């Protein structure tokens, strides 16, 4: 039995490649403060370990609900949801 349970995404992923629709992290700007991980209501932002850093945020596009909380919380502005993705999803709803 696993002690770690990962909840399912609260909403369906829009059509298309989910990872391409995920917010992007500019690693050269990210300070690994962890705020994005803490504020994500869907649990889509996790931690990936990197060779040149202690860790980096990793965003799972399939779980991301496009709430923009991670982008808003980032004090360095390292997370960005591409405008064309926002517009695409807005016109599909």
pTM: 0.70
Quick one: how far is CA 19 from the chain centroid?
9
Residues in a beta bridge with 79: 25
Tell me how far apart the alpha carbons of residues 30 and 42 are, in angstroms, rounded to a whole number.
21
Q: What percent of the chain has pLDDT over 70?
A: 72
CATH of 19-92, one of 3.40.50.920, 3.40.309.10, 3.50.90.10, 3.30.70.3270: 3.30.70.3270
User: Under a CB-based contact definition with an 8 Å cutoff, are residues 42 and 65 in contact?
Assistant: yes
State the pLDDT confidence band at 55, using cuts at 50, 70 and 90.
Answer: confident
Both tokens of 84, joined, read 């064309």
Locate 93 and state its tokens: 């709803």
């Amino acid at each position: 039995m696993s002690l770690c349970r990962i909840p399912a995404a609260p909403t369906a992923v829009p059509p298309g490649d989910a990872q391409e629709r995920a917010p992007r992290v500019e690693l050269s700007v990210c300070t690994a403060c962890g705020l994005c991980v803490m504020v994500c209501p869907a649990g889509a932002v996790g931690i990936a370990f990197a060779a040149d850093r202690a860790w980096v945020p990793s965003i799972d596009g399939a779980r991301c609900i496009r709430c923009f909380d991670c982008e808003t919380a980032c004090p360095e502005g390292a997370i960005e949801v591409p405008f064309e993705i926002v517009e695409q999803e807005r016109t599909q709803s």
